[in-house]
Structure 1
């Protein structure tokens, strides 16, 4: 969830100091969102200066976005595009990078350069837990039965949050740690037996399949496809969407059940993409925040989210 370019990675560190990632609509509602008399917006603004990075959508048609600027959480209605800040962050040096919401309305937040894992109530906005991992850049998160898993972009390890405690799981096997941002997006395999983690360094960028019990990583066979700018991941059935932020694209793969092999089937591009980072789904649409990493952020910088059709 961060650029692979070294200079920009450093700049970000300085300037910032599925009910899990999507949900299905009823058929009539999904149809109305795209073709009804009052179609839902396919693009809507986020607050100026917000610096969005992560997105999550739960069981209701609301998207939650995390801010790199100070860790705030912004909630937007997918039906209207209107929203507001529902949880105040801890301020400068405590960004919210990746985030996920569970079916109880609990938000799991990756704290980036702060090294924190935070847990917040989406309804009240209260930050209920703050865990110091000792990590360098806690980047993204995925929910599995009984645990939340987080990546660290500068350390060869994952963090497992379960029952209010955090464990560190070292990454071994095929894992190669690069000199800059390495681990990024995280998902589950279609059969739920393992984790999928973007490794932007090994073999020019790709996916690693990680055994959650041992941390042993094995490279996923993606053929000739590479993910040098791989960021957020979204799995719908056996279809994996991988955001390639600097390429302004989403690469789409069909995985086998175990997640050991993937076949590239499509690339989604759109002129509205301005370095999207992460992706979540509702109905037939994919929603992405434009992080605009190609511009120096200011309090007046404009940001937005866009929707495209699923493959």
Structure 2
């Protein structure tokens, strides 16, 4: 009897192990590694919303300004905003207000959409040519937009529930500055940008607006695009280099070191080259392929760290 009971026990243990493995595989498969977007959609920005929702916008001529809403788990996508002829570049979602803040490229504009209906909630004319409003980050009390053609950031104040102010405030930067991606500390006191002409990483105090060089021991971040801060790790997309730099920052964010690069699937898959911006969901990063690259299939790509 003891022998039979032991065999039964071992059988149950093995069965439990199989179930756990199968469950883990099912869970892993629940989030696809590649989410196809409409042909030649031309994405540039990506934002993660409530639940498993994501958003991405179009640069391409035929769909310029269209914003898609999708599901990271199912891979389904639908139109949130129909094409309006104004490029949609970087974007971020504010869960407090369920609003989507979108940079609008060479128009010098930023637009805030209702993330459920797609209705325009607010619109801002930050700058006139030459300008390229490229990306945006949201803190507790403001949204900050970047400009890759002018030496400014643009600040839109946010109320306690995330409601945007009627007007925006330009923040002058040193005349040689041109910024693309932007990230912020959780308390909103520090912003991070890469100065395009020098490829150097800077932090900007949101009280003084003074850029301070982050000491990377002489290392630089050429072709820097989207930025994302998770804890003390800063992820920097290097678009035409087909990789994401992983930068470990010090406790005070004043210095750091490039710990390595995430290169897959950007280097091995010809259909997923030139990542531009990234968003985080769970333990994974999600990147979009470049809307400014040659016409090709476009994807949202899951990148495991």
Q: TM-score, normalised by structure 2?
A: 0.82
Q: What per-residue deviation string (whole Å, max 9, x for no partner) do you get for residues 195-217 of structure 1? A: 11121212xx1211112233211
Distance 2:197 2:28 in 1: 47
**Hey, what does 2:173 align to over in structure 1?**
171
**Which runs of 4 or more aligned residues in structure 1 lie more than 3 Å from their structure 2 counterparts after TM superposition?**
31-35, 189-192
Which structure is higher in RCO with an 8 Å CA cutoff and minimum separation 6?
A: 1
| Residues 1:160 and 2:162 aligned together | no
**Hey, what does 1:90 align to over in structure 2?**
84
Count of aligned residue pairs for this structure pair:
266
**Hey, what does 1:199 align to over in structure 2?**
195
Distance 2:149 2:89 in 1: 14
Match of 1:244 among 220, 238, 248: 238
Distance 1:189 1:37 in 2: 30
Q: TM-score, normalised by structure 1?
A: 0.80
Distance 1:48 1:62 in 2: 21
SS at match of 1:165: coil
Deviation at 1:176, TM superposition (A): 2.8
**Hey, what does 2:100 align to over in structure 1?**
107
The answer for unaligned runs of 5 or more in structure 2 is 1-21, 158-164
Deviation at 1:140, TM superposition (A): 0.5
Deviation at 1:37, TM superposition (A): 7.2
Structure of higher CA gyration radius: 2
The answer for unaligned runs of 5 or more in structure 1 is 1-30
Q: Does the aligned pair in 2 maintain the 1:189–1:257 contact within 8 Å?
A: no
Deviation at 1:284, TM superposition (A): 1.3
The 3 A distance-change label for structure 1 pair 255 and 32 is farther
Q: Does the aligned pair in 1 maintain the 2:57–2:67 contact within 8 Å?
A: yes
Match of 1:42 among 17, 33, 36: 33
**Hey, what does 1:265 align to over in structure 2?**
259
Q: What per-residue deviation string (whole Å, max 9, x for no partner) do you get for residues 38-74 of structure 1? A: 4321001011121100001023111110111311111
| Residues 1:116 and 2:109 aligned together | yes
SS at match of 1:36: helix
Distance 1:159 1:146 in 2: 13
**Superposition CA RMSD, Å:** 2.0
**Hey, what does 1:183 align to over in structure 2?**
179
Distance 2:167 2:125 in 1: 10
Q: What per-residue deviation string (whole Å, max 9, x for no partner) do you get for residues 228-247 of structure 1? A: 10000111111111000011
